Structure 1
C-alpha cells in the first residue's frame, strides 16, 4: 500500500515539474491559507480578551476555517454557540 502512495507522490511531483502549476490555482490556495491564518489570529485574540468574560473557543482547523472565511460573523456565531449551547 505504501509503495502506491509513494509512487503517486513521485508521479505528481514529476507531472508538476514538467507541466507546471497555473497561477490561478496558486492564488486560490494562497488566498485560502491567508484566510486560515487570519482566522487563527482572530481566534487567538478572542481567547486572549474573552478570558475575562469566560469565552474560550478552541483553535483547530474547523473553527479557523469558519472564522477565516466568515470573518466577524464567524466569531459571533462561534461565540453564540459557546454561550448558548455549550454552556
Structure 2
C-alpha cells in the first residue's frame, strides 16, 4: 500500500511537470512573435532615420508619419525599401 501511494504521487508530479512544459511552450510562441515585431520596429525606425540622414544630401527623404512608421515597423528593412520604391514611383 505504501509503495502504491508513493508511485501515484510521483506520477502526479510528472503529469504536472509535463502539463507545465506544454503550457510554457504554448505561451512562448506569442512571445517570439512580439519580440520579432519589436525587433523589426527598431530596425525599421533606424533605417528611416538613416535614409533621411543620408538622403538629405542626395535629395531623398521619407516623410515620417504614422503610416510610414507602421510599414517600416512591421516589415523592417523591406518596408523601408518598399517606401523608397513607392516614393520613386509616385
- RMSD over aligned CA atoms reads 2.4
Equivalence for 2:30:
25
What is the TM-score with the length of structure 1 in the denominator?
A: 0.57
Q: Is the 8 A contact 1:39 1:65 kept in 2?
A: no
- For structure 2, the residue ranges without an aligned partner over 5 or more in a row are 1-25
How many residues align? The count is 65
Q: RCO (CA 8 Å, sep 6+): is it higher in 1 or 2?
A: 2
Q: Which has the higher helix share?
A: 2
TM-score, with normalisation over the residues of structure 2?
Answer: 0.56
User: Between Structure 1 and Structure 2, whose CA radius of gyration is higher?
Assistant: 2
Change (3 A) 1:73 1:29: closer
Task: Give unmatched runs, 5+ long, in structure 1.
Answer: 1-20
Alignment match, 1:50: 55
